[in-house]
């Protein structure tokens, strides 16, 4: 009986971890204004920001997920990157706009629209 319960518990824990969100950049904080706007347009994800340099955030996610090409072409004075976490079905995009330093580096974590 104990082995059966332990087995079920392990399966349950494995299931939860299989769908866990990707790691969040240390110290990143939710951006309420962006999250409210995202919900209004039906996006399923959460925006965060940090005032650490874009390159530091990029290096963090480069070691965690698979960088992917996107249809977004950054304009002059913008930095942009996207990472897939295929095992969980999540994607992370990071964005920095030189003209908007007060927002810092924006991190958007959401379910990948293309699935696994």
pLDDT band of 19, cuts 50, 70, 90:
low
Residue 61 to residue 70: CA distance in whole angstroms? 16
Q: Check residue 6 and give its pLDDT.
A: 38
Q: Which residues are CB-contacts of 41 (< 8 A; sequence separation ≥ 6)?
A: none
Question: Mind listing the pLDDT tens digit for each residue in 47-105?
Answer: 999 999 999 999 999 999 999 887 766 678 899 999 999 888 899 999 998 877 778 99
Q: Check residue 99 and give its pLDDT.
A: 79
39, pLDDT greater than 80: yes
Query: Which residues sit opposite 50 in a β-bridge?
Result: 105
Q: Check residue 10 and give its pLDDT.
A: 37
Query: Which residues sit opposite 80 in a β-bridge?
Result: 95
Q: Pairing relation of β-strands 90-97 and 78-85? A: antiparallel
Residue 101 to residue 10: CA distance in whole angstroms? 45
Q: Is 76 left (phi over 0), alpha (psi -120 to 50) or beta?
A: beta
In this prediction the pTM is: 0.75
């Amino acid at each position: 009986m104990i082995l059966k319960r332990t087995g079920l518990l392990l399966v349950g824990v494995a299931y939860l971890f299989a769908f866990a969100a990707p790691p969040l950049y240390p110290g990143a904080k939710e951006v309420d204004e962006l999250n409210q706007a995202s919900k209004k347009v039906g996006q399923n994800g959460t925006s965060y920001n940090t005032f650490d340099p874009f390159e530091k955030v990029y290096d963090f996610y480069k070691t965690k997920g698979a960088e992917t090409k996107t249809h977004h072409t950054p304009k002059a004075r913008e930095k942009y990157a996207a990472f897939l976490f295929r095992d969980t079905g999540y994607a992370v995009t990071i964005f920095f706009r030189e003209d908007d330093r007060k927002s810092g580096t924006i991190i958007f974590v959401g379910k990948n629209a293309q699935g696994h």
